[in-house]
Each structure stands twice: as structure tokens, then as C-alpha cells.
Amino acid sequence: MMQKPVRLEINNTGAWKVLGRFDAADDFGAEIVLNAAEQLAQALVESGNRLTLRVSCADAPHWVLMHWNDPETGWRDARTGEPA
């Protein structure tokens, strides 16, 4: 059972799509998911794609916790804009 269920989402066409869910309370597992998502996003951006990733609460309301907009800035806290 997940303690802090969140959703990894991608937007590459104007609509958010859920890629998967993971437990943000599991530091090791969450780091693996976020690193893999960032590697995929970087590869797609380098191939000419425009996209954004975000992590939001899995249960409604789906508050955004962090986002990834480009390889230069990486993951950012949605509220503060600081590195996540």
C-alpha cells in the first residue's frame, strides 16, 4: 500500500496523460522513477520534441507537486520554483 501515492504525467500535445503512479514516500523508488522520466524527457527533447512532465497527487484534487520543463532546469518544486 502506498503511503504517498502520486502520478507521473506528460504533456506533449496540450493534454496531460498519466504515465504511471508511484509512492513518493519511498525515496529510493521515487528517485528511480524521476531519474528515468528525466532521461526519457531529455532524449525526446534532444530529438526535437516539446514536452513537460509533472508529478501530482494521485487522489483528487490532483495538486501539482513538481514539474520538469527542460534539461537545463530539471525537476522544480511547483510552489517555489526551487530545485526539487
pLDDT, block means (10 residues), the chain with 84 residues: 96 95 98 97 94 96 95 95 95
Would residue 82 count as lying in a domain? Answer: no
Residue 48 is predicted with a pLDDT of 93
- 53 is in which domain, residue-wise? 5-77
CA dihedral (20, 25, 28, 34) positive or negative: positive
Q: What pLDDT, on the 0 to 100 scale, is given for residue 25?
A: 98
Please report the pLDDT score of residue 15 as a whole number.
94
Residue 1 CA from chain centroid, whole number:
21
User: How far from each other are the two terminal CA atoms of the chain, in whole angstroms?
Assistant: 24
Residue 84 lies in a domain: no
Kindly state whether residue 34 falls inside one of the protein's structural domains.
yes
With respect to residue 83, please indicate whether it lies within any of the assigned structural domains.
no
Please tell me the total count of domains within the chain. Answer: 1
Report the distance separating Cα 81 and Cα 83, nearest Å. Answer: 7
